[in-house]
Amino acid sequence: MRYSAGLFLGWRELRGWRRTIRYSACIECMVQVLSSRGRYKEALRWNKRVLSGREKVLGMDHSDTLESLHDIAYNLKQLGNKVEALEWYRRALEEKD
């Protein structure tokens, strides 16, 4: 009985990870649309949510997480926050190495 309960809990946790990954992919698409329409502030807010989920599930060195860092930097740059954008671009490069 313990074994099957452990399997069930493991399956639920895995299912949660999958949900987080799918959710972040959907939100990422929405962010791209918002950015393409010039709604950078709103896109930035959602970018940060995506990054938070990807950091937890995939880790900082995963390409999707690094893409989120880049997207945040891009939206900051579009909003005129070039210094802060540069910090996010640097962070993405440092995590990549």
Distance, CA of 38 to CA of 23 (rounded, Å): 23
Reduced to 3 states (helix: H, G, I; strand: E, B; else coil), residue 29 is helix
Digit-coded pLDDT (tens) for 4-51: 444 344 445 556 666 777 788 888 888 999 999 999 999 999 999 999
- In words, the CATH class of domain 2-96 is mainly alpha
Alpha-carbon separation of residue 1 from 9, 34, 52 (angstroms):
12, 49, 36
Q: How confident is the model at residue 79 (pLDDT cuts 50, 70, 90)?
A: very high
Write out the two tokens for 5. 């309960």
Distance, CA of 65 to CA of 46 (rounded, Å): 14
Percentage, residues of the chain above pLDDT 90: 54
